[in-house]
Copies of this chain bind each other. A is one copy, B any other.
Amino acid sequence: MNTCPLLSRTARAQLAMMLEVCASPKPGNVDRCHDYADTRLEHFLASAILARPALERAERGEGGIGALIREAVGLTACHAGGNTHFGAYILLFPLVLGGDIAGACAAVRQTTVADSLAFYEAFGATKVRMLEDDAEIDVNDPAATATIREREMTLFDIMAYSAPRDMVAREWTEGFVLTRRAADHLCEGAGRQAVVSAFLRLLAEEDDTFVAKKHGAAVAEWTRREAGAVLAGERSLEGFDEECLARGINPGSIADLIIAGIYVALGEGWQWDC
* A192 and B42 contacting across the interface, CB-CB below 8 Å: yes
* A41 and B15 contacting across the interface, CB-CB below 8 Å: no
CB-CB contacts below 8 Å: A182-200 with B: 192
Q: How many copies does the complex hold?
A: 2
* B78 and A6 contacting across the interface, CB-CB below 8 Å: yes
CB-CB contacts below 8 Å: A1-40 with B: 1-4, 6-7, 11, 14-15, 18-19, 22, 32-33, 40
Q: What is the distance, in angstroms, from A73's C-beta to the closest C-beta of chain B? A: 13
Interface: A163 (CB within 8 A)? no
Interface: A52 (CB within 8 A)? yes
Inter-chain CA distance A2–B81, complex, in Å, is: 9
- Per a CB cutoff under 8 Å, which of B6, B18, B50 touches A45? B18
* A1 and B43 contacting across the interface, CB-CB below 8 Å: no
Task: Given A11-B50, A50-B11, A52-B52, decide whether A80 and B45 contact each other with a Cβ distance below 8 A.
Answer: no
Number of A interface residues, CB 8 Å? Answer: 33
Interface: A77 (CB within 8 A)? yes
- Name the B residues within 8 Å of A149 (CB-CB): none
Q: What is the distance, in angstroms, from A199's C-beta to the closest C-beta of chain B? A: 16
* A49 and B273 contacting across the interface, CB-CB below 8 Å: no
* A1 and B79 contacting across the interface, CB-CB below 8 Å: yes
- Name the B residues within 8 Å of A46 (CB-CB): 15, 18, 273
Task: Given A48-B49, A49-B18, decide whether A43 and B273 contact each other with a Cβ distance below 8 A.
Answer: yes
Interface: A272 (CB within 8 A)? yes
- Name the B residues within 8 Å of A80 (CB-CB): 1-2, 273-274
* B42 and A19 contacting across the interface, CB-CB below 8 Å: yes
Report 15 cross-chain contacts, Cβ distance below 8 Å, ordered by A residue: A1-B77, A4-B78, A6-B78, A11-B49, A11-B50, A18-B42, A18-B46, A18-B49, A32-B32, A33-B33, A45-B45, A46-B273, A48-B49, A52-B52, A80-B274
Q: Which A residues lie at the B interface, using CB under 8 A?
A: 1-4, 6-7, 11, 14-15, 18-19, 22, 32-33, 40-43, 45-46, 48-50, 52, 77-81, 192, 272-274
